[in-house]
Amino acid sequence: MPFRHPDRSHGLATRIELEVRERLEEAVDYVCLEALVRSRRARDLPAPAADNDADRREYAERVRAFLGQLERELGAELDAEQRRRLAAAPAATDEESRLMSLQVALARSLPDYWQRFDAARARFLAEPASTPPADGSGGEGRGLLARLFGRG
């Protein structure tokens, strides 16, 4: 799939970063929407609706929960040099942006990142179909399903 970011004036490294971020946002969106739909089915609730504030909040909670899980699982396997490089990354404006930026950096530096992501995805989707606890953290992504839910 071709590079879809509207601003094509960036250098190659920035374009790669944006492309990885876009792919990651789409993958996280897919996982979190799938978890939300499964949870709804298990509780005999209607499918989520894009115009429902409670559904959007529940979806955002799942995004934060999955990104947090990825940070814990993938971050635990880093060596000291990898941790040092990731710590030198620019600070994000909010927690969700920080978590997503961390995943972009990991995706660019770990050769088996997507295999690890897939394993984490399977564990996340295998968890009991319940609503994740509200953690009060802010921030929202800009992925495809996030745009569908009016978040981007």
More confident residue, 49 or 77: 49
In this prediction, residues 43-63 reach a mean pLDDT of: 91
Whole-number Å distance between alpha carbons of 75 and 102: 9
Mean pLDDT on 35-53: 91
pLDDT value of position 33: 93
The DSSP code for 111 is T
Q: What tens digit of pLDDT does each residue of 100-120 get?
A: 988 998 998 888 999 999 999
Of residues 141 and 47, more confidence is placed in 47
Torsion angles phi and psi, residue 111, rounded to 5 = -65, -25
Burial class of residue 136, CB neighbours in 10 A (0-12, 13-18, 19+): exposed
